[in-house]
């Protein structure tokens, strides 16, 4: 992957995503949103969408702009649309959050923020989907590699999630005439949650990990039967959940269908674990770098989430503790994986941007020289400890203690962000190797001047 293949706006997506993550954690530390108020309260919706759209979705889109071309060995199509997509997503998210704040009574402007958010966010995602889908399509008539199939499924999921989210925003806004609004919330909310967290974010993350882990650990990257089982089981589970919700929602829908979907989902997670063990055991890089070591915490959170789900179902307390389950999935599995891989992706892309043009002609540092693992490993350990503590406090319904745990994760996240900034600014590189002739320090998050 040479410098000419770098996505110019991925760093901007990452910077915006990290901003929303830190702000959301700061709000939780301050006691804003769940569990201080109900999960369906507007204040909680602010936090939820800052995490799911502002942090996780922006991170995923920015990463896919960089790695989908690598997955299919084709340049990113329509890359000039990356900036308009980011602008639509950011403005749309701010409008959506402002709409929730109006619903909570915190502000009163009279502006149709929810309607604007319901229009701009799908437009931003549509541009991103167009770019990524066109890049995947450019591989025809060859078949898509297995990781790309996960991404294609994820793109279908975000299209559905964005469309449903827009319908919710229109229904909540009060700006649309009643005759033009169909209240789909009782039927579509399960789809919105399952397809968003399970399909767009988790399914895509699994697919990307099938490429990132072999690349960073020098593990075998050939397609295995277990990976295909993960794909078919996960895709079928998502489809069954969508059908069950359309038939009447989980509370009064086809119990057998939902049970089969849950079984297939757990089946996919089990076989994904087999692949993870294979990749770690068969790596050629004996010393595991910090990004791959810390990713183990994210994978452990995924399997703890599955165990917690089974326990809550067995005890009949899922409705009572669903917040703890979602927190572990969002912060342990998805955020943990995102932060751990950013710790490698940011230095890697920075190295390519800065030293790629003089590679082989000038002495250059290693990618590992841009970071200090001995310092950063403590921040990742503190982060996962905070997530586990936060999940426990939600299970025992201790909101004050949850705020303390949230403060721990906030501190760890802020420290990891500082490490990424130091890597981006080449602070950790020895002065003699920092800027050889013919190189320049990359901008923090904006594209370098061409």
pLDDT tens digits along 95-116: 999 999 999 999 988 889 999 9
Rounded-to-integer distance, Cα 427 and Cα 413, Å: 19
The answer to which of 76-80, 213-217, 249-253, 345-349 has the lowest mean pLDDT is 249-253
Q: DSSP characters for 352-393?
A: HHHHGGGTTTS----GGGGS-HHHHHHHHHHHHHHHHHHHHH
Confidence of residue 43 (pLDDT cuts 50, 70, 90): very high
What per-residue confidence (pLDDT) applies to 383?
98
Domain-wise residue ranges, the chain: 1-179, 184-286, 289-441
Confidence of residue 4 (pLDDT cuts 50, 70, 90): very low
**CA-to-CA dists, residue 385 to 30, 144, 297, 298, angstroms:** 19, 38, 10, 12
What per-residue confidence (pLDDT) applies to 397?
93
Confidence of residue 253 (pLDDT cuts 50, 70, 90): very low
What per-residue confidence (pLDDT) applies to 287?
85
**CB within 8 Å of 261: residues ≥ 6 apart:** 236, 237, 238, 240, 241, 244
Checking if the pLDDT of 249 tops 60, the result is: no
Confidence of residue 191 (pLDDT cuts 50, 70, 90): confident
Over residues 136-156, mean pLDDT: 87
How much of the chain exceeds pLDDT 90, in percent? 63
Confidence of residue 125 (pLDDT cuts 50, 70, 90): very high
Confidence of residue 206 (pLDDT cuts 50, 70, 90): very high
The answer to which of 5-9, 31-35, 440-444 has the lowest mean pLDDT is 5-9
Rounded-to-integer distance, Cα 11 and Cα 21, Å: 15
More reliable by pLDDT, 45 or 318: 45
More reliable by pLDDT, 364 or 252: 364
More reliable by pLDDT, 175 or 423: 423
- Among left, alpha and beta (phi > 0; psi -120 to 50; other), residue 76 is beta
Rounded-to-integer distance, Cα 130 and Cα 278, Å: 34
Task: Give the tokens for residue 88.
Answer: 């639509």
Checking if the pLDDT of 251 tops 90, the result is: no
Checking if the pLDDT of 175 tops 90, the result is: no
Q: DSSP characters for 169-226?
A: HHHHHS-S-GGG----HHHHHHHHHIIIIIIIIIIHHHHHHHHHHHHHHT---S--HH
Confidence of residue 179 (pLDDT cuts 50, 70, 90): very low
Checking if the pLDDT of 182 tops 70, the result is: no
Q: Tell me the pLDDT of the chain averaged across its residues.
A: 89
Checking if the pLDDT of 181 tops 90, the result is: no
The answer to whether the beta carbons of residues 124 and 86 sit under 8 Å apart is: yes
Largest CA distance in the chain: 70
More reliable by pLDDT, 274 or 261: 274
Over residues 325-333, mean pLDDT: 96
Q: What SS3 class is residue 308?
A: helix
């Amino acid at each position: 992957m040479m410098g000419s293949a770098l996505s110019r706006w991925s760093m901007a997506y990452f910077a915006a995503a990290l901003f929303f993550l830190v702000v959301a954690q700061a709000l939780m530390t301050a006691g804003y949103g769940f569990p201080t108020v109900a999960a369906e309260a507007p204040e909680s919706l602010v936090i939820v969408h800052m995490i799911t759209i502002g942090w996780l979705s922006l991170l995923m889109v920015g990463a896919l702009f960089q790695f989908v071309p690598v997955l299919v060995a084709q340049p990113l199509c329509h890359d000039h649309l990356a900036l308009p997509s980011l602008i639509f997503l950011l403005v749309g998210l701010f409008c959506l959050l402002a709409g929730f704040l109006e619903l909570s009574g915190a502000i009163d402007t009279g502006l149709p923020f929810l309607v604007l958010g319901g229009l701009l966010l799908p437009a931003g995602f549509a541009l991103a989907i167009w770019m990524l889908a066109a890049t995947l399509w450019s591989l025809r008539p060859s078949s898509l590699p297995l990781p790309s199939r996960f991404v294609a499924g994820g793109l279908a999921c975000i299209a559905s999630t964005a469309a449903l989210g827009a319908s919710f925003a229109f229904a909540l806004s009060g700006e649309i005439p009643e005759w033009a609004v169909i209240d789909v919330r009782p039927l579509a909310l399960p789809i919105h949650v399952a397809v968003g967290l399970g399909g767009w974010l988790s399914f895509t993350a699994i697919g990307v990990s099938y490429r990132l882990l072999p690349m960073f650990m020098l593990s075998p990257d050939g397609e295995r039967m277990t990976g295909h089982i993960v794909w078919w089981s996960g895709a079928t589970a998502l489809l069954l959940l969508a059908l069950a919700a359309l038939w009447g929602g989980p509370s009064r829908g086809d119990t057998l269908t939902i049970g089969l979907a849950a079984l297939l989902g757990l089946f996919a997670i089990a076989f994904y674990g087999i692949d993870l063990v294979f990749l770690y055991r068969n790596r050629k890089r004996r010393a595991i770098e910090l990004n791959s070591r810390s990713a183990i915490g994210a994978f452990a959170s995924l399997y703890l989430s599955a165990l917690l789900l089974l326990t809550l179902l067995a005890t009949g307390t899922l409705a009572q503790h669903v917040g703890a389950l979602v927190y572990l999935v969002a912060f342990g599995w998805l955020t943990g994986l995102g932060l751990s891989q950013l710790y490698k992706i940011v230095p890697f892309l920075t190295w390519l941007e800065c030293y790629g043009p003089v590679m082989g002609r000038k002495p250059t540092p290693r990618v590992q020289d841009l970071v200090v693992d001995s310092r950063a490993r403590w921040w990742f350990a503190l982060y996962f400890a905070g997530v586990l503590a936060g999940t426990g406090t939600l299970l025992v319904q201790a909101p004050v203690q949850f705020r303390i745990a949230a403060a721990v994760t906030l501190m760890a996240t802020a420290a990891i962000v500082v490490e990424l900034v130091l890597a981006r600014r080449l602070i950790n590189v020895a002065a003699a190797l920092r800027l050889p002739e013919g190189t320049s320090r990359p901008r923090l998050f904006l594209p370098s001047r061409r």
